[in-house]
Amino acid sequence: MALLRDIFIALSENQMLNDASKKVGLKFGTNKVVGGITIDETIERFKDINGQGMSVTFDNLGEFITEKSDAINEKNNILNMIQAIDDHGVDASASIKLTQIGLNIDYDFCVANVREILDAAKAVNMFVNIDMENYSSHDKTVHIVDMMMEEYDNVGTVLQSYLFNSPENVYKYKDNRIRLVKGAYKESPQIALQSKDDIDAAYEQLIRIHLTEGHGFTSIATHDHNIINDTIDFINEQGIPNDRFEFQMLYGFRKELQTELVDRGYNVCVYIPFGNQWYAYFMRRLAERPQNMNLVIKSITKDPVFKTTAIGSGAVLAGIAVYKLFSRK
């Protein structure tokens, strides 16, 4: 399955397929894992999730932008969503990617965009999480995160357990609000763990350190019920109060587990992406769990657009073929 994961990650980075996918809307099962194309329809998903006793963090889909005009458009999408959340009174925070708002264009331009987003969020008492992306943007992202943490009290970031420097950084951010993830990009053995067992063990260690060594809030972002159960056992042993942590899961995944955790009295936050740049996000979800391709196959067999739209079908056919090939092994 490691090779299959690498192939899906490669597909997620294919610009031609990313561009093509924008022309067909939410098709091929993606409506199960993406909140919507527009702000209005996504706000309705937020309300539904809130009604189930869970909070939301939103992600305006899109990354690795290279034109200032595009970065400004994406920044404005984020600002508009922040305003809509306040207007509708929903319980939601923001998750932003710096390559979407100018990191690969101009450093100062990106910093100015981040400040504008943080100012808007602070005005409505909203938290903003600065996501970590692939390692090529890591150092610049950390530098901006550290700068923003000195200026704002409504900002946090992400630690990826597969990176070798995460054990050091979990102490650095022990008093900050941090999301802990395993990591969803293909990184080299020189900078990141490669085996699932090693990544899982590192992930559990990060959780325990951040829960006990400082005063920060810990967002535990995983669908792995074994890790969740182990973490709950540790939390009970250490007497950690529920207001110090939350479990985060992706929209459309392990919904029954989300509900179970809420029923048990734990805080649950659902990560909901929105927008038309769904392809890279969806392919990385398949890389994490290739069995999710079943969503695509089931949707395609019922969707007449697949038969008539070469652009749309081309954006997913490669992934389906690869999945079918490797699932037989």
Q: Indicate whether 243 and 296 sit together in one domain.
A: no
End position of a domain, from candidates 277, 302, 319 = 277
DSSP readout, 132-183? Answer: ---GGGHHHHHHHHHHHHHH-SSEEEEEETTBTTHHHHHHHTTTS-EEEE--
What is the domain range of residue 251? 35-277
What pLDDT is stored for residue 185 in this prediction? 83
Q: What's the token pair of residue 144?
A: 């901006």
Residues 6+ apart with CB under 8 A from 245: 211, 217, 218, 219, 220, 235, 267
Angle at 16 between CA 34 and CA 39, to 5 degrees: 30
Which residue in the list 5, 45, 131, 285 is annotated as catalytic? Answer: 131
Q: Indicate whether 5 and 151 sit together in one domain.
A: no
Interval 283-304: pLDDT, tens: 766 666 555 555 444 444 444 4
pLDDT averaged over every residue in the chain: 85
Q: Which amino acid is at 22?
A: K
Interval 310-325: pLDDT, tens: 444 444 544 544 444 4
215 vs 159, 172, 193, CA distance in Å? 16, 12, 28
Q: Is position 328 annotated as part of the catalytic site?
A: no
How many whole angstroms separate alpha carbon 75 and alpha carbon 101? 6
pTM of the full structure = 0.83
- Are 1 and 262 in contact by the 8 Å Cβ rule? The answer is no
Q: Indicate whether 257 and 310 sit together in one domain.
A: no
Q: Indicate whether 205 and 83 sit together in one domain.
A: yes
Residues 6+ apart with CB under 8 A from 74: 60, 62, 65, 100, 101
What pLDDT is stored for residue 291 in this prediction? 54
**CATH code of the domain containing 47:** 3.20.20.220
In the chain, which stretches have pLDDT less than 50? Answer: 295-315, 317-318, 320-329
Interval 89-99: pLDDT, tens: 999 999 999 99
Helix or strand holding residue 68 (H, E): helix 68-88
Domain count, the chain: 2
Interval 171-217: pLDDT, tens: 999 999 999 999 978 899 999 999 999 999 999 999 999 999 999 99
Q: Indicate whether 230 and 315 sit together in one domain.
A: no
Which residue in the list 45, 177, 179, 285 is annotated as catalytic? Answer: 179
Q: Is position 243 annotated as part of the catalytic site?
A: no
Helix (H, G, I), strand (E, B) or coil at 15: helix
